[in-house]
Each structure stands twice: as C-alpha cells, then as structure tokens.
C-alpha cells in the first residue's frame, strides 16, 4: 500500500464534508479537510440558518397586529436592518466555531484555502500538495449566475441578500422555487415593496398544486405582487443607482434591488476533476453511484455537488452512509425516497411524499383527504388566512403516500409526518390515532372521509 499523507482528504467544509471528516477522524483515521471560505457551508453561512433568522424577523409585524385581538397594546414599532444583520453575523460566527471545534476535537487537520485535484491521489492547496488514500468532494453548489440575462451583473443573489448595506424600498425577485418564495416573504415582512417574477404558470413547481395555489393566494392577500409566465429580459442601472427592468411582456419597471433566484448549480468549476479523471454531468454535477462513488475508485462525492437532492440533511445522511461504507465495513446505499421538506414562507409549507399529481401517475386510484380552515390562533386576531391539510392515499393498499400542510408550524409537522410515511403506515393507522386537542395538527387524524377520489388520473367527486 502506498504511503499517503492522509487516509481521507475532504474538499469542502459544509455540513456533509464536516460530518464525514469529523466521524472519520473520530474513528482514528488521518483526516484533512480543506475549506476556502468559512466552515458550515451554504446552510450555516449563507443559506438555511440566516434565512430562518430573517424569516423570524419578518414575522413580527403580523405578530404585533395579531396581538391586539388578545388584549395587547404594542405601541409604536421600528425595525433596524443593521441590527438584524449584525446579530445574524454573530450567530453564524458562533456556529462556524462549533464546526471547527468539532473537527479539531476529533483530530482532523484543518487546511484553509482552495483545494484542487492534481491527480487521483493528490490535492493541492496553494503551493502545497497533499496525498491521500481516499478523497471526498463536498463543495456544494452556488446560485445560477444567469449570465444570459443582459445586465445580470447589476443584480444580487441569495448570498448577497443577507448582507445588504441597507434595506431596499423596492425589490424584484426572479424565480418561483422555495428560495425565491421565501425571500419574497422575508422582504415583504420587513416592509419592502416586493414583486415576484416567475416564468411558470404557478410558483413552487413540483409541490402539490393545493399548496402552490394556496400560498400564491395568501402571498397576494398580504400585498406581494406575483407575476407568473413572465421573465426579465434586460436590466439597466440608472444614474441614481436604481435598476430599470424590462420584461418579456414589454413592461418596464424600476427597482432598488433585483434578486435572481433561478436555481443552483454544482460547485465543480476549477476543481481539477479532469486531471483526476472524474466524470461530470451536463450541469457540471459529479456523477456518483448509490454509494456516492465516482468513476474513480478512490474518489467520492456527496451533497449538492452531485445534484441529487439539494438539502442539508440529505448531505449529512450521505456522509453517514459514506462513513459506514468506507470505514465501518457496513456498505450502505443512500435512501433518497420520502424526504420531508419545508418552505419557510408565510404561511409555511411542510410536505413529504408524493403530490397528488405525481401519485396519480403512479397509482390507479387515490383517495384524497383535504381540509381548509382558519387555525385557532387566528380566531381572536381576526386574520383570515387559511390553513390547508392534505393526505394522498393509495386506494388499493390504503398506504398514505403524500402529506402536505400549509399554515403555522407546517415544517414541524412535516418532520413528524415523515416518520409515518417512511414507515408506510396506512390511513387506518392515522384514523386509529387519538387527536391532540385543541391543535391544528389534529385535523391530520380526524379526516375520516375522503374529499374526493382520483381514478386513472381523473378526479371523481
């Protein structure tokens, strides 16, 4: 066996790379992990964590309004954007410190700098080259730069949205996925005149249609303008710093900021993959098998850089499977089936399993259970916002194959629903479960009769 500097060299200090590096080092392996920016990756530094903090901040105006119905007099309120940004930075720094401390405690060697493959077993960082028996690539993804859009250089992306020097008065967001939708709600909640521009017929493609339409209506009711089947065609910067946006329809409007949220692409450019012979796909994603192995026997990849499922918990799960397979002698394939997810919009969406449309393509007959109601927390506040709950059931087996919730704490519910759907429980098991009263979630176990059926893709009332 060749004498290498390390047993494992991890490229990328995000959630997946850090988990793999820490666990391997904890098993006594000689591990190096290289990161060119900050440990924690997209999720901790410029994704899930700061986004959720901004979501919380943007919800307070509605909380202040709702409190009056419960007897509270809040008085005059004011929001300070620099304070939010500064406090967010403190929390991100704290979390990054925990990531570093975990690696150091496990005995991993931390290398700061951009790592580039120079061979099958070689990695260069700056002017130094390291050798490793195994190499794991976990460099994540980045926002699609939309270079085909004239004037794209004047726009911002989700990365920059967290650190703007000042809050804009008017913002346009192009995109209809969860990132675009979440930022539209964040900026609107913070008092920004917000326009969402999306090329499709309805926001949140691939989500259940009831969730998509329900959220669309709720967002518009709040005052967010949504332009579907529309795209930006040109951006020009005015003398006063504002941006003039031209759209496909011919509309021309001015905004203070334009945020592009039209997908993310794998971070593989300039990694030296071709030198090591690692194969990539059409979007630059690293191609891997069910064990996260690339075509090169000693090189693996996981997380967003593989463009399988772009979610932080998925990258962590893939890292655990990699460790089991390569260092614990327990070959473990990755299970990407029935993954719960949430859209931290306002109202929130939590979902797991198949949408009604996808289930209709897979099963001959469905039972669909659907409820729409005003949650109890809105009764005294007077807020008219509705909650939607939906269960999609395979009629033949009675197995619940999809669960979808829109409303307060929907993401929390989705996490627990995921256990039931992963266990392939039947609707009968839901029916036998006692309700927690009074709660919104009790509706999930008290919808005894289907709202309608779907046979051969057609709805039957």
Enclosing H/E stretch for 107 = none
Contact 113, 126 (CB under 8 A): yes
Reading across the β-sheet that carries 458-460, which strands appear in turn? 341-343, 349-353, 400-406, 387-394, 365-373, 452-455, 458-460
At CA 147, angle to CA 141 and CA 148, rounded to 5? 130
Q: Are 19 and 140 in contact (CB under 8 A)?
A: no
- Number of Cβ atoms within 10 Å of the Cβ of 413: 25
Cα–Cα distance, 437 to 439 (Å, whole number)? 5
CA–CA separation, 314 vs 335, rounded Å?
Answer: 9
- Dihedral sign (CA 265, 269, 271, 272): positive
Beta strand 193-198 with 225-228: parallel, antiparallel or unpaired? parallel
Q: Residues 27, 324, 316, CA angle at the centre, nearest 5°?
A: 95
Buried b (16+ CB within 10 A) or exposed e, 378-410: beebeeebbbbbbbbbbbeeebbbbbbbbbbbb
With 0-12 / 13-18 / 19 or more C-beta atoms within 10 angstroms meaning exposed / middle / buried, residue 2 is exposed
What is the SS3 assignment for 327?
Answer: helix
Give the H/E segment covering residue 252.
Answer: strand 252-255
Rounded to 5 degrees, φ, ψ at 157 are -125, 180
CB 215 within 8 A of CB 347: yes
By annotation, the residues acting in catalysis are 437
The pLDDT of residue 433:
97
- The C-alpha angle with vertex 355 and arms to 406 and 390, in degrees rounded to 5, equals 40
Mean pLDDT in runs of 10 for the chain (461 residues)?
89 96 97 94 92 97 96 95 97 95 96 96 96 97 94 96 97 97 98 98 96 98 97 97 97 98 95 96 96 97 96 95 97 95 97 98 97 94 95 98 97 97 98 96 96 94 81
In the three-class reduction of DSSP (H, G, I as helix; E, B as strand; rest coil), residue 365 is classed as: strand
pLDDT value, residue 461: 81
Give the count of beta carbons closer than 10 Å to the beta carbon of residue 137: 32
């Amino acid at each position: 066996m060749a004498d290498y500097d390390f047993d494992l060299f991890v490229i990328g200090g995000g959630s997946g790379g850090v988990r793999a590096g820490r666990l391997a080092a904890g098993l006594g392996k000689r591990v190096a992990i290289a990161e060119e920016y900050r440990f924690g990756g997209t999720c901790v530094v410029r994704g899930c964590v700061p986004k959720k903090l901004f979501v919380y901040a943007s919800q307070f105006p509605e909380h202040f309004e709702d409190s009056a119905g419960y007897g509270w007099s809040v008085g005059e309120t004011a929001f300070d954007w620099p304070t939010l940004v500064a406090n967010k930075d403190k929390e991100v720094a704290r979390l990054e410190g925990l990531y570093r401390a975990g690696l150091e405690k496990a005995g991993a060697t931390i290398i700061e700098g951009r790592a580039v493959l120079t061979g099958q077993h070689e990695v260069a960082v700056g002017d130094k080259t390291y050798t490793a028996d195994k190499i794991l690539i976990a460099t994540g993804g980045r926002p699609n730069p939309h270079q085909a859009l004239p004037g794209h250089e004047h726009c911002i992306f989700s990365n920059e949205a967290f650190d703007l020097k000042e809050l804009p008065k008017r913002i346009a967001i192009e995109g209809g996925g969860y990132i675009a939708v979440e930022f539209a709600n964040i900026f609107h909640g913070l008092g920004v005149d917000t326009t969402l521009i999306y090329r499709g017929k309805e926001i949140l493609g691939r989500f259940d249609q009831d969730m998509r339409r329900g959220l669309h209506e709720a967002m518009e009711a709040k005052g967010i303008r949504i332009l579907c089947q529309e795209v930006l065609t040109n951006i020009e910067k005015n003398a006063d710093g504002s941006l003039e946006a031209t759209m496909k329809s011919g509309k021309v409007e001015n905004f203070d900021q334009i945020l592009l949220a039209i997908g993310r692409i794998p971070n593989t450019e300039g990694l030296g993959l071709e030198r090591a012979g690692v194969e990539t796909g059409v979007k630059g994603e690293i191609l891997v098998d069910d064990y996260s192995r690339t075509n090169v026997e000693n090189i693996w990849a996981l997380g967003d850089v593989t463009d399988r499922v772009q979610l932080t918990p998925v990258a962590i799960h893939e890292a655990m499977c990699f460790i089991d397979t390569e260092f614990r002698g327990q070959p473990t394939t990755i299970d990407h089936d029935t993954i719960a997810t949430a859209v931290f919009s306002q109202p929130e969406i939590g979902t797991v399993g198949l949408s009604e449309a996808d289930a209709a393509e897979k099963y001959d007959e469905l039972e669909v259970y659907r409820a729409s109601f005003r949650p109890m927390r809105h009764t005294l506040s007077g807020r008219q916002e509705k909650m939607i709950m939906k269960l999609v059931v395979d009629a033949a087996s009675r197995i619940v194959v999809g669960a979808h919730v829109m409303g307060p704490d929907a993401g929390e519910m989705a996490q627990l629903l995921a256990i039931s759907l992963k266990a392939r429980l039947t609707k009968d098991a839901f029916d036998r479960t006692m309700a927690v009263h009074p709660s919104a979630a009790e509706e999930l176990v008290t919808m005894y009769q289907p709202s309608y059926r779907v046979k051969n893709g057609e709805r039957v009332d």
